[in-house]
A and B are shown apart, each in its own frame.
Chain A
């Protein structure tokens, strides 16, 4: 019995080593070890991680090695992964997405942690008086697109719109934050709003239908679930002739008319440059303010044609 078990465990280790297949890079003396913890496999998050690696490699060359681990969407794995980083004494942790940053921040107060793809650090880390700098061992970049400009953009593209439906996934903290901000701006402008939240892929169609029936225009924030289901949303919006303004380029490409968005790759690059400064000793993480990525204005030419909308000047086609 015990023998069987030992063999079983050995097989398991052997298998996992095979899976590992040189994924781990060895750290030589005088090099920096950077742990990357990413919440889930996702186009935007992957792009941010890639940008981070490219920027840091460009700055430090062979002097940096990465240990990149993905929690595969299970939040509890973030704690396990970060525990591994802290115990192998990495020089810096890059945490991609809000739960990853929370896990890293609660695991260490000494190793510098740089977050990315986090919308709002004050919300994620529960900071009362927000000054733009976290002030502890945590800093990073925010994927917050300028929400006031997005709200203005709705009026710019659809000056006659009276009712704006806000479509998002209730499981995503960042979406709720964005929707509330945009709602406040729109209300100030005297536009009626209503929230339409879906819980997952299964009820996205019926909620979108409800939203399309009620609204003149729909606003979709930077929302991971919406991003994975643009086709389902587009099928309803096109049929009911309801245009959508989106918080992010990927969603706009699939089901929206126009967007004012950021590139996650650029966001990762910005984070990588911050990391280089910390590792070279040029800056202290506690003094670094949260940085943002530059904004781009884009429109979806196919959708504009379908809805018969003339694109507003200053926007470029995706």
Chain B
């Protein structure tokens, strides 16, 4: 029973961590699903978001302005990848890796040459902090991040319904066809990468506040968590959620599921040396499910015919 109650008790923490990563997942969704490229910039731009946000807050800037600046910095990182990809003709995956690599040095510069910059909730008026996650008060991070996610989904829903948004979706679906329709494929790629990395940086900025520090290594493995969120969301909801806004919501829920599963496995007393193996297994299982599902339906189809 104590196990269950402590598990229940840990839910708010896991959920808020999941929602914050969900914003990052939505960013990954834009590049991975809509534009159909795997953008590895995110491991770097996630830390950039945290770094910019924490440095500005420490300098006395309002946390709201700080997260906006963090998003702008993330967008710049996305622009860099996009330019490497579109103007220098470097494959998307390699462009992302190059940007990610260079962001390591840039992030160090942003953080004043230090690998770790703390931002204490006792000293600054942070937007979100793990400290209050179990409190019933206005300081609880949950309402704010839920509202933020909702606002983001609404904005993206509107945006991908505009002419520009439709053109971007067409670019991802079939670039040759899109080109034939007179769509500027390269510009769309640039916008998508900037949007995506702005969201990733926002997520990094929130997480840095949530855990009380930005660290040069905080983006390590971010892409895996982002992809996990996208794919878990699809596995659970692809049948039910057909609407674009709901698909984005599924990504956010996917991130929450990822963190809940992780939390439960930790509470079960998993030997944490196996943590990476378990993380990889969670992602691999969810990646494999859609394929197996397809195989199963194909077999059924043969039987019926």
Contacts and interface: CB of A to CB of B under 8 A. Distances in A.
B104 A75 contact: no
A206 interface: no
Nearest to A105: B212
B216 interface: yes
Contacts of B134: 86-87
A84 B10 contact: yes
Main secondary structure of the interface of A (DSSP, over half): helix
Interface string A134-149: 0010000000000000
Interface string A7-28: 0110011011101111110010
A8 B269 contact: no
Contact of A125 (B108, B118, B133): B118
Interface string B262-305: 11111111111111101001100100010011001000000000
Interface string B241-278: 00000000000000000010111111111111111101
A4 B295 CA distance: 13
Contact of A87 (B9, B131, B212, B221): B9
B239 interface: yes
A122 to B, nearest CB: 10
Interface stretch (A95-103, A232-240, A274-282): A95-103
A44 B92 CA distance: 40
Contacts of B271: 19-21, 23
A88 B266 CA distance: 12
Contact of B215 (A15, A99, A176): A99
A99 B262 CA distance: 19
A194 interface: no
B114 A75 contact: no
A106 B131 contact: yes
Contacts of A20: 268-271
Contacts of B263: 80, 83-84
A15 B268 CA distance: 11
A83 B118 contact: no
B236 interface: yes
B130 interface: yes
A102 B212 contact: yes
B13 interface: yes
Given A80-B14, A87-B6, A107-B131, A17 B268 contact: yes
Given A16-B268, A176-B113, A126 B118 contact: yes
Nearest to A82: B130
Interface string B118-146: 11111100000111011000000000000
A16 B289 CA distance: 19
B120 A69 contact: no
Contacts of B275: 70-72, 74, 77
A173 B235 CA distance: 40
A136 B273 contact: no
A72 B272 contact: yes
Nearest to A109: B131
A226 B7 CA distance: 39
B269 A126 contact: no
Contacts of A76: 17, 207, 211, 218, 221, 225
A27 B10 CA distance: 18
B274 A8 contact: no
A89 interface: yes
A69 B271 CA distance: 7
18 contacts: A12-B282, A20-B268, A23-B270, A24-B268, A24-B269, A68-B272, A70-B272, A72-B276, A73-B220, A74-B220, A80-B262, A84-B267, A106-B121, A108-B131, A109-B131, A124-B116, A126-B120, A176-B115
Given A20-B271, A72-B275, A80-B263, 13 more contacts: A4-B292, A15-B278, A74-B276, A84-B263, A87-B10, A88-B6, A99-B116, A103-B211, A105-B120, A107-B130, A107-B131, A109-B122, A171-B216
Interface of B: 2, 6-11, 13-14, 17, 58, 104-105, 108, 113-116, 118-123, 129-131, 133-134, 207, 210-213, 215-218, 220-221, 225, 235-236, 239, 259, 261-276, 278, 281-282, 285, 289, 292-293, 296
